[in-house]
């Protein structure tokens, strides 16, 4: 009798343990996501797009190894209290470093009539023909503040630089010899390793007594020139 009771209890315990195992398995399957529970039968192929990029060959003009630069320029000069006239000159430069350079300039022009002379007629002239000759020379220190490049096409580029200059010199005009202070800016394009093109803006300032006593005059120059390295 006791053996039957023990056998019945053992069988009941096994049945309870089996049901608990089934319940735990069902709960684990319920917690799985649909993506984890189901595995796709097939995988779609992945398309890789490769960019079609090819390197460009660029022909770039470099500065020559020499440090000296000479050339000529032409432009216009607005003479204070007079007219705006053509200007011609020569220049030379020494490139001390990659950024700093020293420059010498000599320019010539001829002043026209003042507004007073034009209104007064042909009988009134403040200056003779010789005194209207305008010439100057100066020594300037320059600094390349924005060196860069200019792209004219996909395969052609030129070195360039935007620079500032300042210095002193002398101006001969109206029978006077005047100490002159010069400030300005310029832009340079290196076309070849020995050839450059310049565009320059200058303000030549000096005191003059031609029109009124001790007047500070501003003589504005706008010019362009070609220089050679050697």
pLDDT of residue 127: 79
Assigned domain for 121 exists: yes
* pLDDT, mean over the chain: 82
Per the CB < 8 A criterion, the answer to whether 170 and 136 are in contact is: yes
Tell which residue, 104, 106, 114, 125, has the closest CA to residue 78: 114
Per the CB < 8 A criterion, the answer to whether 62 and 193 are in contact is: yes
Assigned domain for 40 exists: no
Per the CB < 8 A criterion, the answer to whether 114 and 121 are in contact is: no
- Give Cα separations from 136 to 42, 53, 125, 132, 219 (angstroms): 88, 55, 23, 13, 11
Assigned domain for 54 exists: no
Assigned domain for 196 exists: yes
SS3 for the chain is: CHHHHHHHHHHHHHHHHHHHHHHHHHHHHHHCCHHHHCCCCCCCCCCCCCCCCCCCCCEEECCCCCCEEEEEEEEEEECCCCCEEEEEEEEEEECCCCCEEEEEEEEEEECCCCHHHHHHCCCCCCCCCCCCEEEEEEEEEEEEEEEEEEECCCCEEEEEEEEEEEEEEEEEECCEEEEEEEEEEEEEEEEECCEEEEEEEEEEEEEECCCCCCEEEEEEEEEEEEEEEC
Q: Which residue has the tokens 């020499």?
A: 66
pLDDT of residue 24: 62
Distance, CA of 222 to CA of 169 (rounded, Å): 18
Assigned domain for 223 exists: yes
CATH number at 94 reads: 2.40.160.20
Assigned domain for 21 exists: no
pLDDT of residue 204: 98
Number of domains in the chain: 1
Backbone angles phi, psi at 117, to 5 degrees: -65, -40
Choose between 156 and 87: higher pLDDT.
Answer: 87
Return the bridge partners of 195, or none: 192, 228
Distance, CA of 21 to CA of 11 (rounded, Å): 16
Domain assignment of residue 204, given as a range: 65-229
pLDDT of residue 18: 62
Q: Would the pTM count as exceeding 0.85? A: no
Tell which residue, 126, 108, 129, 109, has the closest CA to residue 117: 126
| pLDDT, tens only, 142-168 | 999 998 888 877 778 888 999 999 999
Position 126 confidence tier, pLDDT thresholds 50, 70, 90: confident
Assigned domain for 52 exists: no
Choose between 42 and 174: higher pLDDT.
Answer: 174
Assigned domain for 91 exists: yes
């Amino acid at each position: 009798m006791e053996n039957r009771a023990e056998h019945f209890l053992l069988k009941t315990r096994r049945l309870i343990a089996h049901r608990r195992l089934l319940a735990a398995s069902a709960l684990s399957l319920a917690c799985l996501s649909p993506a984890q529970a189901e595995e796709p039968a097939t995988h779609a192929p992945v398309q890789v797009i490769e960019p079609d990029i090819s390197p460009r060959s660029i022909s770039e003009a470099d500065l020559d190894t020499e440090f000296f630069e000479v050339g000529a320029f032409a432009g216009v000069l607005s003479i204070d209290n007079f007219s705006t006239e053509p200007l011609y000159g020569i220049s030379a430069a020494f490139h001390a470093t990659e950024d700093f350079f020293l420059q010498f300039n000599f320019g010539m022009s001829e002043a026209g009539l003042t507004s007073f002379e034009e209104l007064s007629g042909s009988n009134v002239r403040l200056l003779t023909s010789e005194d209207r000759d305008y010439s100057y020379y100066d020594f300037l220190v320059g600094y390349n503040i924005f060196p860069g490049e200019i792209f004219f096409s996909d395969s052609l580029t030129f070195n360039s630089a935007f620079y500032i200059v300042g210095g002193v010199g002398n101006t001969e005009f109206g029978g006077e010899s005047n100490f002159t202070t010069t400030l300005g800016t310029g832009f340079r394009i290196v076309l070849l390793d020995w050839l450059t093109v310049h565009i320059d803006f200058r303000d030549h300032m000096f005191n003059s007594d031609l029109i009124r006593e001790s007047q500070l005059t501003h003589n504005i120059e706008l010019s362009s020139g070609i220089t050679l390295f050697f």
